[in-house]
Amino acid sequence: MNSMAELSPRPDHVPEHLVVDYNLYEPPHEVSSDVQVDIARRLQAGPDIVWTPRNGGHWLFVRAEDIDHAQRNGKLFSMREVTVPKGTTPFVNVPLETDDPEHLAYRAVLQPAFSPAEILKLEGEVRELAISLIEDFRGRGTCEFVSEFAAVLPIVIFMRLADLPELDRADLMAWSDAAVHPTSFDNRLWGYGQMARYVEKLMAERAHSEAGDVVSQIMRAQVFNRPLTHEERHSLGMNTLLGGLDTVMSTMGFIASFLARHPGHRRQLIDNPAMIPKAIDELMRYHGATGTARVITEDTNYKGLTFKQDDRVLVQTMFHGQDPRRFPNPGVVDFERQDVRHAAFGQGTHRCIGALLARLEMRVFIEEWLNRIPDFHITEGEAPIVERGMVNSMRRLSLSWPTPSAA
């Protein structure tokens, strides 16, 4: 996707001193540190709001206060296109890329499948799957965490929510990976195209279904006292299929990498498992893997700067979580931190509808992993590989641990 990073001319309303060379997209590369900390420190040393000519040219908020404002004020900061550059997603993502009141109506279609009562029912399945995946590689003393665990657990659980055949898993993983982490724009179009054809097939199969799976619920749902249109059903199906898979996979990767490098933090969670839910929030705050763009809906003045209608604003939660104005010593992970109100799940009416499921999957992962592999580290000579983009993603993480035969 490097072609997207070509330089755009600076608009007249953008002050020259606010221009920075910031490229959201970085291809997979080895890392030796927590990259979000280094990037946040560099940009937060300058102005709170900057503009980059990369990826179509867009504003960038680097302070928690402004990210909070953008996430909560949909009237000015529209979600109608959540990626940069403009026009890089080949379909409208409903309900994500809609604003209120439409967003709330579409969200209500999916809400029953992600209610607290429904998510609570899944804990046994999530735990059984997590244990099975871990036991498959525990005895050999090593694994590639992303492909063998983090990329598998969330998509299998979603497939059960949607009542999809297990045989489709490999295809769905390949298509979603191309859509979210494309090697080129053509590769992204291929991923979305394959996924779109799959959704069309599901819609035809479940056009008159009375079943309780999420796809069947979409097919018989109504909005504004009318049935959903074909396009609305298709977009909701695509959004449900793609939503949350990459975020959970990426966040699990960063959590596993951190715990592999910090035995003291591991020991805290082993000794006190009740701390795990709060630790998840602190680790999500610290890494801030997610990001979305906003579209300015009208010419306005914000904090003395002129924003023009249709300007893009990039909101990355890694800047929110690493802002020392909001979090004292943000570069330190403290499982006893009092305020861990991060922005990684979004805020306001656009708060992630799958947040409860994501929390459940991450909690069960940590509980079962530490119960079975309490002592692990990053495999020597195999540095983690991270890819930066709309979601910062752990692409490879090789982990090792002692086994009874090696003792």
Domain at 401, CATH number: 1.10.630.10
- The structure tokens listed for 12 are 């007249």
Could you list the pLDDT tens digit for every one of the 407 residues in the chain? 544 567 999 999 999 999 999 999 989 999 988 889 999 999 999 999 999 999 999 999 999 999 999 999 999 999 999 999 998 777 788 999 999 999 999 999 999 999 999 999 999 999 999 999 999 999 999 999 999 999 999 999 999 999 999 899 999 989 988 888 888 888 988 998 999 999 999 999 999 999 999 999 999 999 999 999 999 999 999 988 887 567 899 999 999 999 999 999 999 999 999 999 999 999 999 999 999 999 999 999 999 999 999 999 999 999 999 999 999 999 999 999 999 999 999 999 999 999 999 999 999 999 999 999 999 999 999 999 999 999 999 999 999 999 976 54
Q: Which residues of 321-343 are buried (b: 16+ CB within 10 A; e: fewer)?
A: bbbeebbeebeebbbebeebebb
- The structure tokens listed for 251 are 């966040």
Total domains present in the chain: 1
**Cα–Cα distance between 93 and 241 in angstroms, integer?**
11
pLDDT at residue 184, rounded to an integer? 83
Neighbours of 136 (CB within 10 A): 13
Q: With contact defined as beta carbons under 8 Å apart, do 57 and 49 qualify? A: no
pLDDT at residue 31, rounded to an integer? 92
Neighbours of 79 (CB within 10 A): 23
Give the residue numbers spanning the domain of 55: 2-406
Instruction: Name 190's Cβ contacts closer than 8 Å, sequence gap at least 6.
Output: 178
Q: With contact defined as beta carbons under 8 Å apart, do 81 and 333 qualify? A: no
For the CA atoms of 74, 78, 79, 81, what is the dihedral angle to 10 degrees? Answer: 180
Residue with the two structure tokens 């700067």: 305
**Cα–Cα distance between 378 and 400 in angstroms, integer?**
6
